Structures are given as C-alpha cells and as structure tokens.
Homo-oligomer: A and B are copies of this chain.
C-alpha cells in the first residue's frame, strides 16, 4: 500500500516503527499519531528507555542471561543448584521456565540456535563457553531445553557431541502431548514418541 504522508518526519517515524516484527505500516501510523497526541516528555522517556537498554545492557559472564552487574541474580543465588545447567536458546526461555517455578538449577543462554538457513553456526552461539563451564568442573547435569524443531534438534545434537568427552548426564526436556491437547488432533510424531516414552501412571501426575 503506497500511502502519501504530508511530512517526511512522519514518514520516517512510520518507517522506523514498521521495521519492528509484527508491526505493519497501518499500526505504525497509529503508533506515530499516538506519540504526537502525547506530551513531548512521553516520547523522550520512551526513546531513552530503549536507548538505555541497547547501550547499557550487560550479560552474565556465567550464563549470558541479561543482567545488571557482572553475574545475573540466578547465578548469584546460593540456594540454586549450580550443578544442574539448563541450556536454552534465549532469555525469553529463561523467563518462561522461571515462571513455571519447577526448576531450581541454573541456565546457559546460547543466544540463538544453529540455523544454516539464517547463517547461524555453532561459533555464533555460546557453545564453547558451555563446554568450558563443564570442563571447569562442578556440573553434574546439562538439560537441553531447546525447541522441538529441526534447528533445535541439530543444536542439541551438536552440544551432546561436544559434551561427550565429559562425565555428566545430558538430558532433554520431555516431549509429548501438551496439557489440554486432544489425542485426536495431536500430530503422529508427537503421539508416537509420547507412547514410546510413557511413564508410570500416578494419581497426582505432575
């Protein structure tokens, strides 16, 4: 849709907003006009929050999670189990797993996933630092919590091979029928795997 803007400033702002994922030109225009309706201090606060994030953000030197200081709050917490390391693609997954309240170990954030299509190779990810962490000792289990996609499987397999010289358990999060899903509509690969990997029935099956 080619739209005529009466101002280059407006056009630039719409173009900038429309580069965000999931924001089309129509939404971008709505957002730009919203900013014009608000006080100038609103847009200034908005812009400075984003600039501060991008310019001042730090990453934990242990797990590469976003943090404030040298080490993130999870890695710095003595009550967490530092012998169990959960490997995730990004900090969004750290938040998702933290929200479950089911994990008391620590994390290792890869910063992406191996994807030949997008040109992301093992060297672009924090895999060497994971191997270093294991080689430094103290890690008893590495849990691979990666997406159940081709890229996730490739990345998991690569890490598994890299860790094979060391004595530790490498596990993978359970795959199966999601809670609330109907068997009838579950894809056959998931269903087949969930039958093979069946567990003992328990009344409080968590």
Contacts and interface: CB of A to CB of B under 8 A. Distances in A.
Contacts of A6: 60, 65-67, 72-74, 91, 94-95
Contacts of A33: 90-92
Contact of A66 (B7, B60, B72): B7
A78 interface: no
A21 interface: yes
A34 B55 CA distance: 14
Interface in A11-41: 12-13, 15-17, 19-22, 27, 29-36, 40
Interface string A38-70: 001011111111111111111010000111100
B66 A10 contact: yes
Interface residues of A, number: 59
A8 interface: yes
A54 B10 CA distance: 9
Given A6-B66, A46-B19, A35 B54 contact: yes
A49 B12 contact: yes
A4 interface: yes
Contacts of A60: 6
Most central of A16, A33, A58, A94 by chain B CB within 10 Å: A16
Contact of A3 (B8, B19, B95): B95
A10 B36 CA distance: 25
Contacts of A54: 35-36, 40, 43-44
Interface string A117-152: 000000000000000000000000000000000000
